[in-house]
Chain A
Amino acid sequence: MTFEDWYRQDRLPHIYCAGCGNGTIINCTLAAVDSMGWKKEETVFVSGIGCSSRAPGYILTDSLHTTHGRALAFATGVKMAKPDLHVVVFTGDGDLAAIGGNHFIHACRRNIDLTVVCMNNQIYGMTGGQGSPTTPLKCLSSTTPYGCAEPPFDLCELATAAGANYVARWTSYHVKELEKAVKVGLETPGFSFIEALVQCPTAFGRRNKFRQVADHVEYLKTHSLLRAKRDRLLGEGQPLPEDMFVVGELTKRNRPAMGVKR
């Protein structure tokens, strides 16, 4: 099989806007799932509400498209009731970090055996471009018309602090790295969190000087600071570039996990 065999062909075309990065993330995730050799009937995709959460509807497995923010709580029920199932959660920054923030930290704390792929477009795309908990300072959105005044969450630091076994961040530019990170996440017992920064030309890009999709992807590429480089800078006592974000494998450990196949 290839990742394409996991798509629910009769549901295509999808609802994503032209230039959206979500498809890239879904492809990477499905490629990683496919490489695990799992059967479709033993794999379940769960999501909440938002653009990212529409993904399970395009995948030919059992899937739960649930309420806003609650995907992890539903997934916890699925996984605890039937640990034999592989459970992958698609979510977004609003779904996971705003309305679902409590479920996020508790799923990390339990270190429950789920793999969570968060498509972070730094905006509420489905509702037309409102500020989210990851909208960067000073960025424009329909609810931050004078520039975002609130500092954003670092989702990976949050997941690490709360107890996740595996945490990585990549972007829609880094497809190979992302696929590999998702695969490591799928292989790791316990809670795996993979954040994928994605361009959203419709709701974020057009308000924030990324009118061309390629410009935003280029930005994601050039503003990624590899974890190894960050560590080197820190080791040398040098300051980290303020406008860059760290990418790479950020946490990998072996805390006791819940819901692991018996």
Chain B
Amino acid sequence: MTRTEFWQGNTACAEGALAAGCNFFGGYPITPSTEIAEHMAVKLPKKGGVFIQMEDEIASMASIIGASWTGARAMTATSGPGFSLMMENIGFAAMTETPCVVVNVQRGGPSTGQPTMSAQGDMMQVRFGSHGDYAIIALCPATVQEMYELTAKAFNLADQYRVPVFLMADETVGHMREKILIPDTVGRVGRKPFVPGTPPFRAADPDLIPGFPTFGTGEHVHVTGLTHDERGYPCATNPKLHMALVKRLIDKIENARDKMADYDIVNPDAEQVFVAYGGPVRTVMQVMHDTKDSNVGFLRIRTVWPFPEKALAKFRNAKRFLVPEMNFGQIAREIERHVRVPVQSIPKLGGELHSPAELVAALEEKP
């Protein structure tokens, strides 16, 4: 039995988190994500969870990492400027393999930019923004329904892969209201159990993910952002150990690329193929609805990082990929790495979605 609601995207995000068992939210107000914090501030205390407004986004990120080590399903939500502030601690979460969920309701940047307008300018920052090499998971919702579902999914992926997982929404999806179907329950995948007495950062399984030694359970685990051995002890000048550790942190995510891939394909035999994620998906859907041309295909991506490169190969006849984004081609360039046909970036900045006419014009333009 599902129920129907008419919700704002940010409300759906918060409700999706609660349905997934989120019990700690540390955040700082920032447009256009604030409604998520406000909703959590109302709901979490009533469910026995913790809401805390931290002094800045650096502290917000730190607080959810601390909470996560006590076993909490922890989350924060922000937008561009706050996201930039979180970067150092995001790297710490990646290095220490701390499960956590970060929502970025993207707005126009750089800098303070356009607080109330939509953008997708942080798609490379989410992948590479903290210093050093690492890997993360990023999901992009295009509907209010997906704000709910992908937030819940983010918690499962974070716990399963012991990695920060990002819901890379945008102002359009965060602030729009539309119909949403709420399921009775949301599936949960927890953290891999820890084998007591074993080295806390030993990844013995082929998935390269160690079990999680929750604080307070007597494992006496030392967690450090320094390069560490499988006991968790600092070992910062051992070249081989550093190489092996960082490689494992990346491989545990990248090796699961196909497993995590989440996309829809329309007209796989088409020659002209739109690729979109987040807000621009909505415009492409309108174009697909209006055109009767089966030569126009559509790849709709939900898991943007790790990038589902094999999805592109499903379009065997593709002669051109058209990529509308609310940035200057951040993911278009990623697509270029994987295909041998032209990739046409259709950037749109300023805060508005592409209009269907703009995409049709790009389609009709000769490359």
Contact = CB atoms under 8 A, between A and B. Distances in A.
B220 interface: yes
A66 B218 CA distance: 20
A46 B24 CA distance: 19
A80 B157 CA distance: 24
A150 interface: no
For B55, B64, B88, B226, which residue has the most chain A Cβ atoms within 10 angstroms? Answer: B55
B233 A57 contact: yes
A175 interface: no
Nearest to B200: A62
A11 B88 CA distance: 27
Interface in A61-89: 61-67, 70, 73-82, 84-85
B54 A82 contact: no
B66 to A, nearest CB: 3
A41 B218 contact: yes
A15 to B, nearest CB: 9
A11 to B, nearest CB: 6
Contacts of B89: 66-67, 70
B67 A77 contact: yes
Interface string A226-260: 00000000000000000000000000000000000
A223 interface: no
B92 A66 contact: yes
A82 B70 contact: yes
Contacts of B92: 66-67
Interface in A18-58: 40-42, 44, 46, 56-57
Contacts of A78: 66-67, 69-70, 215
B contact patch SS? mixed
Interface residues of B, number: 40
Interface string B57-101: 011101111111111101000000000000011001000000000
Interface in B7-62: 23-24, 26, 50, 52, 54-56, 58-60, 62
A207 interface: no
B238 interface: no
A contact patch SS? helix
B221 A70 contact: no
A58 B173 CA distance: 48
Given A44-B215, A70-B58, A75 B66 contact: yes
B338 interface: no
Those 4 A-B pairs whose CB atoms lie nearest each other, nearest first = A77-B66, A77-B63, A73-B62, A81-B67
A75 B63 CA distance: 7
For B54, B60, B71, B215, which residue has the most chain A Cβ atoms within 10 angstroms? Answer: B215
Given A62-B215, A85-B70, A102-B55, A57 B62 contact: no
A85 B215 contact: yes
Contacts of B216: 41-42, 44, 62, 82, 84-85
Interface string B219-251: 111111110000001100000000000000000
